Amino acid sequence: MSNHPPKMTAEHVNVFYGDKQAIRDVSIAIDQDNVTAFIGPSGCGKSTFLRTLNRMNDTVPNARVEGDIRLDGQNIYAPEMDVVQLRARVGMVFQKPNPFPKSIYENVAYGARIHGLAQGRAQLDAIVEQSLQRAGLWNEVKDRLGDSGTALSGGQQQRLCIARAIAVDPEVILMDEPASALDPIATARIEELIHELKGRYAIAIVTHNMQQAARVSQRTAFFHLGELVEYGETSEIFTNPREQRTRDYITGRYG
């Protein structure tokens, strides 16, 4: 554990879809230097909670968020918070690889371009190369940056999406089951990548694969029926959970 103040904090967060409450009174802190995993059975609200952290739920009609979520102490649901800038600071990687149907270069350059992060072509080229290198994709695509991003394999597409998120130079990266649509080898590459990105970016990852949570994360939060049941060191959660529900889940009684 580090002694930094947490990168993001959430206090007493409730999320509603219309009348249905999807998240109940969740409080959690996400560290700068650790990977935080959200685990839990399907429909437990872990993805919903992740999407409140960069206000992606704003696009869902009838969704309502209560509570206090802060990035570096700043309330992200405050009226003066600009949601576009927030999403640049808190990037996201989705469950299904979703590259734009444009060239590999354009995919990575897009975010940097709309936020005006590069002055001139040379700087943009540098951002694209650095982002692809950090995402571990550079050597595979450096000779075909003009090819369509959708022509890559599933695992490469997901790393392209990670490169696209990195190119905006975010502080936090949210990953929503980033490897669930990938084969075991591509999954292993993504997990390695998360290890390499750890420390540079605060990372929160949703997964329904408990081995994956155990492998990549230092902190684990177990969600069940919209509640945060237990949150702590990953090693503690998996070897010595305090709650019966956590124990049942990680031993495969349900899920």
Partner 1 sequence: MSSSLVPQLPIAGAEPAGRTPTDWTTPASAKRIARRYAAERRFRLLGLGAVVLSVGFLLFLLATMLGQGLQGFTETRVALPIDLRGRLAITPAQLEGRRGDLALAAAGLEGAVDAAANRAFAGQGGAAVLSEGAWLRVRDAVKADPSLLARPFMLAVPVGSDIDVAHKGAGTAEAEAAAARLPLSRGLNRTFLSAADATDPTRVGVWGALKGSLLTMAVTLALAFPIGVLAALYLEEYAPRNRWTDLIEVSINNLAAVPSIIFGLLGLALFLGTLGLPRSAPLVGGLTLALMTMPVIVIAGRNAIKGVPPSIRDAALGVGASRVQVVFHHVLPLALPGILTGTIIGMARALGETAPLLMIGMRAFIAAPPGGLASPATALPVQIFLWSDEVNRGFVEKTSAAIVVLLVLLLAMNGVAIWLRNKFETRW
Question: Binding residues for partner 1, per CB under 8 A?
Answer: 54, 56, 59, 61, 84-88, 91-94, 96, 98-101, 110-111, 114-115, 150, 161, 164-165, 167-168, 245, 248, 253-254
Yes or no: say if 163 and 130 are a contact pair by the CB < 8 Å rule. no
Cβ 149 to partner 1 shortest distance, Å: 9
Question: Which C-beta is closer to partner 1: that of 118 or that of 188?
Answer: 118
Kindly give the residue spans of alpha helices, DSSP state H, lying in 198-239.
210-216, 234-239
Residue in the structure block whose two tokens are 């290198």: 133
In one letter, which amino acid is 197? L
205 has which bridge partners?
A: 37, 175
Kindly give the residue spans of alpha helices, DSSP state H, lying in 56-119.
83-89, 104-114
Q: On the CB side of 193, how many CA atoms lie within 13 Å of its CA?
A: 29
Cβ 39 to partner 1 shortest distance, Å: 16
Cβ 99 to partner 1 shortest distance, Å: 7
Question: Which C-beta is closer to partner 1: that of 89 or that of 198?
Answer: 89
Question: Which C-beta is closer to partner 1: that of 161 or that of 237?
Answer: 161
Question: Which C-beta is closer to partner 1: that of 44 or that of 215?
Answer: 44
Cβ 2 to partner 1 shortest distance, Å: 27
Cβ 155 to partner 1 shortest distance, Å: 17
CA distance 144 to 152: 11
Question: Which C-beta is closer to partner 1: that of 15 or that of 56?
Answer: 56
CA distance 180 to 96: 8
